[in-house]
Amino acid sequence: MKAAVITFPGSNCDRDLADAFAKAGADVVRVWHKDTALPAGVDVIGIPGGFSFGDYLRCGAIASRSPIGQAVVDFAGRGGYVLGVCNGFQVLTEMGLLPGALMRNAGLKFISKPVALRVETTDSAFTADYARGQEIVIPIAHAEGNYQIDAEGLKRLQGEDRVAFRYAANPNGATDDIAGVLSENRRVLGMMPHPERVVEAAQGNADGAALFRALAGVMAGA
Amino acid sequence: MKARVHVMLKDGVLDPQGEAVKSALGHMGFEGVGAVRQGKVIELDLAATDKAAAEAEVKAMCEKLLANTVIEKYTVEIA
């Protein structure tokens, strides 16, 4: 598996994300936001958490229109795998690769703590190594993680089994407790919690490791 | 030519910041504030000299960057 992790000015989880991919056996390349093309042979793109471009205008808005942005959209359009975590999830919604939008937390506060999530589908390369309904603990760290989508879009997500994770106890006001969603082709995942922060026991738990392991497994089998 | 863009959350989209401002106003003794919605104003200096062309250009900017039309609406004033 060859993973490309993109760094924007203000990204601060890029090294963690690269490390998580590497621990799952990936060959990781780091890509700068001003690059206009991805390295050859990339299987999966990771868009990390942080505060790209200082969250100016809207979280993820400027990053989604950066030079590398179009390459990411094209890659996803060709059926490439993309994982966006936290700010990366915001970037993916701003790119239009995932529906809905991430808004200010209902309680207005930045929340940084481990939260319990329910794995809602195992039908994706990201969630295949979990069990449906399994509860996992992954940290969140965001002020704008309140997932909003219109009623019709929500119905579609639910009907197509595209809610990847739900919060066991909703921390931010997100519609339908949604913590992560999949694209229509199930190859783009955006999630507010940070699986890359819990990939080995030394980090408190390793509940996030299965996500990267599952991806590596799918790539190995492809 | 100057343009002013107003970006507001669409009706029906919850605005936690507006709610917080409303609550603070209530605590301060300002009564009768029914609703508060917070948005942003973006001012642009444009090279364009034709009003219609400027307006079309700014609308394209709104669609592509200045507003997230999933949750926001915008208006454009050209002066």
Whether the per-residue pLDDT at A74 is higher than 90: the answer is: yes
Pairing state of beta strands A178-182 and B2-9?
Answer: unpaired
Query: Does A104 contact B16 at a Cβ distance shorter than 8 Å?
Result: yes
Question: According to the model, what pLDDT value does residue B12 have?
Answer: 87
Quote the CA–CA distance of A193 and A100 in Å, as a whole number.
17
- Give the residue-averaged pLDDT of B24-38: 94
Give Cβ neighbours of residue A131 (< 8 Å, ≥ 6 apart): A119, A122
Asked if pLDDT for residue B54 goes beyond 70, the answer is yes
> Is the predicted pLDDT of residue A126 greater than 70, yes or no?
yes
Query: Which residue has better confidence, B13 or A17?
Result: A17
**Structural domains of chain A in order of their starting residue, each with its CATH number:** 2-221 (3.40.50.880)
How far apart are alpha carbons A193 and B42 in whole angstroms?
32
Nearest to A117, CA basis, from A98, A107, A105, A132: A132
Q: Is the pLDDT of residue A222 over 80?
A: no
pLDDT in tens, A157-212: 999 999 999 999 999 999 999 999 999 999 999 999 999 999 999 999 999 999 99
What value does the mean pLDDT take over residues A75-104? 97
Write out chain B residues lying below 8 Å of A93, CB-based.
Answer: 70
Q: How distant is the Cα of B59 from the closest Cα of chain A, in angstroms?
A: 16
> Can you give the residue ranges of every domain in chain B?
2-78
Q: Checking DSSP bridges between strand A81-85 and strand A188-191, what pairing results, if any?
A: parallel
Give the pLDDT confidence of B57-67 residue by residue, as tens digits.
Answer: 999 999 999 99
Q: How many CB atoms lie within 10 A of CB B64?
A: 10
Supply the mean pLDDT for chain B: 95
Q: What is the pTM of this model?
A: 0.94
Of B16, B68, B70, Cβ closest to residue A105: B16
Kindly tell me if the per-residue pLDDT of B22 is higher than 70: yes
Stretch B9-38: mean pLDDT: 92
Residue B38: both structure tokens together = 């917070």
Mean of the per-residue pLDDT values for chain A? 97
Mutate to test the interface with B, among A62, A93, A103 (most CBs of B within 10 A): A103
| Mean pLDDT, residues A112-137 taken together | 98
Question: Average pLDDT for residues A75-98, to the nearest whole number?
Answer: 98
Top-level class of domain B2-78: alpha beta
- Mean pLDDT, residues A24-47: 97
| pLDDT reported for residue B14 | 85
